[in-house]
C-alpha cells in the first residue's frame, strides 16, 4: 500500500513545537494514537536508547512492530541479545531486515569482504548495502518510525526534532522521543525499569554496530569514538539518520544495484 502523506511540513513543524517540551512517553502516545498500528514501527539496533523506546512503547501497545537490521556482520553477542529481547517482550511483532544477497555479492566481488577498511567511500558503500538499503525497503511500507536518536549524541544530530518529516526516506514521519534526553537520562530509565541491555556495554562498548567496525572506547574518548575508529575527519554515521554526501560511492551503488538486482529500482 502506498504511503499517503498525513502532514505537510508546516503541520508537522507545529506538532513538533507542541511536543518539544513533552516527555518521551507523551510523544510515543501521540504517535501510537495517530498512526495505524501496522504502519508504524520501532527501528532499533537494540542499543540502550532503542531499548528505552521499546520498553516505553510496549507498555502502551504490546503488539508494537519492532524492526532491526541484520547486516550479516553483527557480533554474536547481538544475536544472543536479540533472543533475550524477544523473550522479554513476547507480544511485540519483531521483524529482522536483511540486505539483498545479490547486492552484497556484487559489492564483495568488486571490493573484497573487508572493503570498509580501504576508504571512507567504500565504508559508506558497505553501510549502504548492508544497512541503509534494507531499511529503505522497510520504510516504504510505513507511515512513521521511532528512533532512539538524541541531540547530544553527535554534531550531525544536534538539530533533530521529536517529530519530523523524513525527506531522505520519501516523507515518512520520523519520531525521536528521546531527542532532548541525555545519556544519563537513558541509563536512569534503564535502571529504574530493569530494561535489558546489550552485553557488550559491560565490555566498554558505547555504540554497537557491526563486529569489524565497532570497538570499546578508550579513556577520555567520546561515545561514538568506537565506530570506524581508523577513519580521520569522517562522519560517524552510516547514512540511515543523516544523509552523507561524499559522491564517492554513488556510482558504485548504482552499478551494484543495476547489475545485482534491477527490480529494486533506483537508489534514493
Asked whether residue 4 is domain-assigned, the answer is no
Annotated binding site for [4Fe-4S] cluster: 126-127, 210, 213
Binding site feature residues: 126-127, 210, 213
Query: What is the grid cell recorded at 132?
Result: 541503509
- Residues 6 or more apart whose CB falls under 8 angstroms from that of 237 comprise 154, 156, 244
The reply to whether 2 falls in a domain is no
Q: Please give the pLDDT value at position 153.
A: 65
Separation CA 97–CA 138 (nearest Å): 8
Q: Are 164 and 12 in contact (CB under 8 A)?
A: yes
Residue 73 has pLDDT above 90, yes or no: yes
Q: Which domain, by its residues, includes 175? A: 9-258
Q: Identify the active-site residue in 12, 136, 139, 238.
A: 238
**pTM assigned to the model:** 0.86
**Angle (nearest 5°) at CA 187 between 232 and 144:** 75
Q: pLDDT (tens digit, 9 = 90+) per residue, 164-200?
A: 988 877 889 999 999 999 999 999 999 999 999 999 9
Q: Please state the length of the chain.
A: 268
Q: What pLDDT score does 267 carry?
A: 37
- What percentage of the chain has pLDDT greater than the value 70? 82
Q: What is the CATH number of the domain that holds 205?
A: 3.40.50.620
Specify if 162 maps to a domain. yes
Residue 264 lies in a domain: no
Q: Does 90 fall in a domain?
A: yes
Task: For residues 121-132, give the mean pLDDT.
Answer: 92
242 catalytic residue (yes or no): no
Angle between helices 101-111 and 120-127 in degrees, nearest 10: 160
Q: Say which residues have a Cβ less than 8 Å from residue 105's Cβ, sequence separation at least 6.
A: 260
User: What is the rounded average pLDDT for all residues in the chain?
Assistant: 87
Residue 266, domain member (yes or no): no
Query: What sign has the CA pseudo-torsion 88, 210, 47, 226?
Result: positive
What per-residue confidence (pLDDT) applies to 169?
A: 76
Quote the distance between the C-alpha of residue 147 and its chain's center: 6
Cell of 37: 498500528
* Most confident listed range (131-140, 163-172, 245-254): 131-140
Sequence-distant (6+) residues with CB within 8 A of 250 are 267
Residue 177 domain-assigned (yes or no): yes
Residues 101 and 99: their CA atoms lie apart, in Å, by 6
Is residue 268, in this structure, part of any structural domain at all?
no
Total of domains in the chain: 1
Collapsed DSSP state (helix, strand, coil) of residue 11:
helix
At 1, the pLDDT band (50, 70, 90 cuts) reads low
The predicted-structure confidence for 137-163, as pLDDT tens digits, reads as follows: 999 999 999 999 888 866 555 678 899
Amino acid at each position: 500500500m502506498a504511503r499517503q502523506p498525513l502532514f505537510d511540513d508546516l503541520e508537522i513543524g507545529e506538532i513538533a513545537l507542541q511536543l518539544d517540551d513533552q516527555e518521551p512517553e507523551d510523544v510515543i502516545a501521540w504517535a501510537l494514537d495517530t498512526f495505524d498500528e501496522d504502519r508504524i514501527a520501532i527501528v532499533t539496533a537494540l542499543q540502550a536508547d532503542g531499548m528505552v523506546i521499546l520498553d516505553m512503547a510496549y507498555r502502551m501497545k504490546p503488539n508494537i512492530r519492532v524492526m532491526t537490521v541484520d547486516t550479516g556482520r553483527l557480533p554474536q553477542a547481538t544475536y544472543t541479545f536479540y533472543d533475550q529481547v524477544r523473550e522479554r517482550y513476547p507480544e511485540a511483532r519483531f521483524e529482522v531486515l536483511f540486505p539483498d544477497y545479490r547486492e552484497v555479492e556484487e559489492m564483495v566481488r568488486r571490493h573484497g569482504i573487508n572493503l570498509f577498511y580501504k576508504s571512507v567511500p567504500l565504508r559508506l558503500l558497505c553501510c549502504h548495502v548492508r544497512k541503509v538499503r534494507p531499511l529503505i525497503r522497510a520504510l516504504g511500507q510505513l507511515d512513521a518510525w521511532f528512533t532512539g536518536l538524541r541531540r547530544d549524541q553527535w554534531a550531525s544530530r544536534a538539530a533533530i526534532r521529536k517529530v519530523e518529516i523524513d525527506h531522505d526516506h520519501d516523507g515518512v514521519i520520523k519520531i525521536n522521543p528521546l531527542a532532548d534526553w541525555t545519556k544519563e537520562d537513558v541509563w536512569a530509565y534503564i535502571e529504574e525499569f530493569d530494561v535489558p541491555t546489550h552485553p557488550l556495554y559491560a565490555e566498554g562498548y558505547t555504540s554497537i554496530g557491526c563486529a569489524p567496525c565497532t570497538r570499546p572506547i578508550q579513556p577520555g574518548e567520546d561515545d561514538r569514538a568506537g565506530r570506524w575508529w581508523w577513519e580521520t575527519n569522517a562522519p560517524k554515521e552510516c547514512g540511515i539518520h543523516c544523509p552523507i554526501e561524499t559522491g564517492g560511492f554513488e556510482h558504485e551503488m548504482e552499478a551494484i544495484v543495476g547489475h545485482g538486482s534491477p527490480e529494486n529500482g533506483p537508489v534514493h
